[in-house]
Structure 1
């Protein structure tokens, strides 16, 4: 049995009970049997109202959603080369990356998930959230940047934003583990060398680099869903996986590299709790039973009041 009191109602009903009890006690000896019965009924009803205001309820157990003490940060490459059609089934690399990250997020229920996407620039597409559904929806629709809008890719353009994001997460939830998952093809088309990911290593407890694409390369549509291909001087251009670059990123993060071409099992980045927790919560409320029990008493009180009123009227 638990109680969910409305304290102001409890106070009012308790004061009324005390007043009625003192009044009945002071007049008890001089009262008739009928008046005494009326006084008792009033006190009992007042006590019943105290119980109603206390709102008695049963108890029940329920599963507590697991709370993952994990901050999961996803970095997704959406440069034009991620549209290359050399993933399993002739699909784009972005299709494979989105599917893999959706699976990672689905397995991280309860974790705080952040999504950083990068093409010419990097942006925090999804700030830290435990709403898995919204993250999954975002990953399924983010797409890749059409080649006509691309200005050359830098696979490390998101490093500074990732550093800022991880630093903020560490300050907000210092006891949480932080996991970084980078998904891309490693292709650097800007002339300058990429920046190092090493500054992120001390901010994460675990890091994974998922590589998409093949050494044989794949042709690139000019835009998602477009049949036209990226060409130069009439020759279709191909994009190639830069596995060496991705392995270098993994080493700098002190993490692991996984080449993703045909699906299969993903690394477990967030491990579920060993057991589901349960808690006791209020169940069905019983105050209405008390209120229902008071109804006959109120009816008797009403009948006595009507009887006394008629007797007083006859004496006039």
Structure 2
């Protein structure tokens, strides 16, 4: 038997203790009053709800149950190089990033997702949530840094923010495996070596580093910050005498270094590549497939039994309240005399 509470332990345990103390106090105060059946119903209702909140279960179950226990972090490179037009049919690399994020989310139904982006600095664009509509919205509006603000970036600029978010997720729900998907091109433009992506080995249970771009490189349109940059000029390479369109080239060696630091595989992504095969390897540290039928190992939940019990008891309590309300009758008004507004004397 295992427990996976719906709230962090530090919050659920005090709430449970307070509820039990209040329940015991009410039972002691009303032990000599009529209505023993009602007190038993209310006590059962509280106990059923508290037990359901702890989510008891045993190992085993379906892929959906296991995926629902995952915290998934997408770390997305949003530097200018991520709009290099060498993904698929001259599409920007961010187009592939958007497709892969939503494809991964589709393969992990019920998981919690977070999005962290980085260019010169790192930002949490979306905290952990099961709302895939919010994930779709955040992903669809991903844009590179405004070109005029770009001053060089590091491929590990998100290391501190990622470490903080992973630590917070572990502290609040230590039973949930944490997957990290790093999506970028590995191009280091800060002029110095990147700081190592040093994380506690227990923080990352699986994931992958996904690389975008080609060895031939691609041109990048400027991001002016306007709503539509379709007609924006291409970023220029001014390190040569005659300025020309700059090219961004994927650096797979650096991406492999990031993958090694995170303890996850590196996978190059091209247009049309499926995510299912990549996920099998990416989740190796978090979820294991059974040899019998290839489904993912999870757990069988029992909380619904106690939730159903709470519903039945609560329904009975509601019916009792309705019955008591029906028994209440308004007090009869005294008869008043026709004159003077005084009650009529019926004695004589």
Give the structure with the higher percent strand: 1
Shift of 1:246: 0.5
Shift of 1:153: 1.7
Deviation sequence 1:9-29 (CA, Å, 0-9, x none) = xxxxxx9xx9xxxxxxxxxxx
Residue 124 (str. 1) matches residue 124 (str. 2):
yes
Query: Which position in structure 1 is the counterpart of 2:236?
Result: 231
Residue 163 (str. 1) matches residue 195 (str. 2):
no
SS in 2 for 1:210: strand
Shift of 1:282: 5.5
SS in 1 for 2:116: strand
Q: Aligned runs of 1:255-294 on 2, under 5 Å?
A: 255-266=264-275, 267-268=278-279, 269=283, 273=298, 280=308
Q: Give yes or no for contact 2:159–2:198 (8 Å, CA) kept in 1.
A: no
Q: 1:196 to 1:173 in 2, by over 3 A?
A: same
Query: Which position in structure 2 is the counterpart of 1:42?
Result: none
Q: Aligned runs of 1:95-106 on 2, under 5 Å?
A: 95-106=95-106
SS in 2 for 1:88: coil
Shift of 1:66: 4.6
Q: 1:164 to 1:244 in 2, by over 3 A?
A: same
Q: Aligned runs of 1:292-303 on 2, under 5 Å?
A: none
CA distance in 1, matches of 2:274, 2:200: 26
Q: Aligned runs of 1:46-195 on 2, under 5 Å?
A: 66=65, 68-195=68-195
Which of structure 1's runs of 4+ aligned residues deviate more than 3 A? 224-227, 269-287
Q: 1:70 to 1:220 in 2, by over 3 A?
A: same
Shift of 1:125: 1.1
Query: Which position in structure 2 is the counterpart of 1:240?
Result: 249
SS in 1 for 2:222: coil
CA distance in 2, matches of 1:255, 1:129: 23
Task: Give ranges in structure 1 of 5+ residues lacking alignment.
Answer: 1-14, 19-49, 55-64, 295-316
Q: Give yes or no for contact 2:79–2:119 (8 Å, CA) kept in 1.
A: yes
CA distance in 1, matches of 2:249, 2:101: 21
Task: Give ranges in structure 2 of 5+ residues lacking alignment.
Answer: 1-32, 43-63, 288-295, 328-348
Q: Give yes or no for contact 1:80–1:145 (8 Å, CA) kept in 2.
A: yes
Query: Which position in structure 2 is the counterpart of 1:250?
Result: 259
Q: Give yes or no for contact 1:201–1:252 (8 Å, CA) kept in 2.
A: no
CA distance in 1, matches of 2:72, 2:79: 22
Q: Give yes or no for contact 1:84–1:219 (8 Å, CA) kept in 2.
A: yes
Shift of 1:144: 1.4
Deviation sequence 1:2-58 (CA, Å, 0-9, x none) = xxxxxxxxxxxxx9xx9xxxxxxxxxxxxxxxxxxxxxxxxxxxxxxx9xxx9xxxx
Q: Give yes or no for contact 2:79–2:145 (8 Å, CA) kept in 1.
A: yes
TM-score by length of 1: 0.66
Q: Give yes or no for contact 1:222–1:229 (8 Å, CA) kept in 2.
A: yes
Shift of 1:251: 1.2
CA distance in 1, matches of 2:91, 2:255: 21
Shift of 1:110: 2.1
Count of residues paired in the alignment: 260
Shift of 1:195: 1.3
CA distance in 1, matches of 2:74, 2:85: 23
Larger radius of gyration: 1
Give the structure with the higher percent helix: 1
SS in 2 for 1:89: coil
CA distance in 1, matches of 2:199, 2:130: 26
RMSD in angstroms over aligned alpha carbons?
4.1
Shift of 1:156: 0.6
Q: Give yes or no for contact 1:105–1:136 (8 Å, CA) kept in 2.
A: no
